[in-house]
Amino acid sequence: MISRVLAVIALLLLLFTYLGGSFWEFHDPVTGEVEFDEDNLSFQPFTFLIDEEDVEEREVPPELVEHLGEILYEYFPEGPWGYLIGYQTMPIWRVSLEAPQYPKDAYPEGIPVFFTLTDFRGKTVEMNVINHYIGMDPMDVGAFNVRKLVPFIYLMFFLMIIVFLFYNGPGWWILGLVPALMPWYYLGFYSYWLYWFGHNLHDYGSFKIKPFMPTVLGDGKVAQFSTHSYPAVGFYVLLAVFLTLGLSILIKRRALREGAA
């Protein structure tokens, strides 16, 4: 019974990371208003999930076609459909940059960007300008295809936990363990893409730097920029999923052993 209760709690928390993004909209720290940037095209679902009546197409610069395809969609879904296809996922990680050209009175939090499961929120255009300054690709390239898969990954995890609640046959624990590891999947992809960005710099950068590994967790320094990289609220919720589902597996394992004794 306790195992099932913990598994249900984990399931609800996992769903919250997928549906609860609207509770953490990015507000401009100066004006206090919700910041919406129509030039932020980081949310790019599969085309069959897009309502063609509410979308505009933009051509991709030739140098990015290899990573992003030939067309990006200006698509900001609203209502239930937006939640269903992953437009309202929670912020999982937060990165901010500080530099002399961004004074504290105008940029009290530096240049912050929140990485959700499916896109980026915050001052994404400014961050991409900075990336271009050092010869780095725009953030949109990062996990471009993986972010498209998030709705289907979450559907798979949801079904796995449902089956985990009632199935006691061979390999039952895999049904709980695979979704429980979600925070570590994210951290692994995040670390990989930081490495990829830092080691695939281009010559067009105005400021020349050697390939480097950006800071995964903590504070760092890149050229004249101070960097800050820390988990956001969604990562802590995913950790709660890991703990509750992990406890559920252990308790169920003990119960099954005692039942077989």
Burial of 260 (0-12, 13-18, 19+ CB in 10 A): exposed
Does the pLDDT at position 52 exceed 80? Answer: no
Give residue-wise pLDDT tens across range 103-139.
888 889 899 999 999 999 999 999 999 898 889 999 9
Please write the tens of the pLDDT for every residue from 15-25.
Answer: 999 999 999 98
| Per-domain boundaries in the chain | 2-260
SS3 233: helix
Residue 54 confidence (pLDDT): 75
Q: Express each pLDDT in 206-261 by its tens digit.
A: 878 889 999 999 999 887 889 999 999 999 999 999 999 999 999 999 999 987 54
pLDDT of residue 30: 81
Q: What is the pLDDT of residue 152?
A: 98
- For residue 197, count other CB atoms closer than 10 A to its CB: 21
Alpha-carbon gap, residue 82 to 249, rounded angstroms:
33
User: What does the pLDDT read at residue 260?
Assistant: 59
User: Is residue 254 within 8 Å of 6, Cβ to Cβ?
Assistant: no
The overall average pLDDT reported for the chain is: 93
Residue 69's pLDDT band (cuts 50, 70, 90): very high
Q: Are 191 and 229 in contact (CB under 8 A)?
A: no
pLDDT at 228: 95
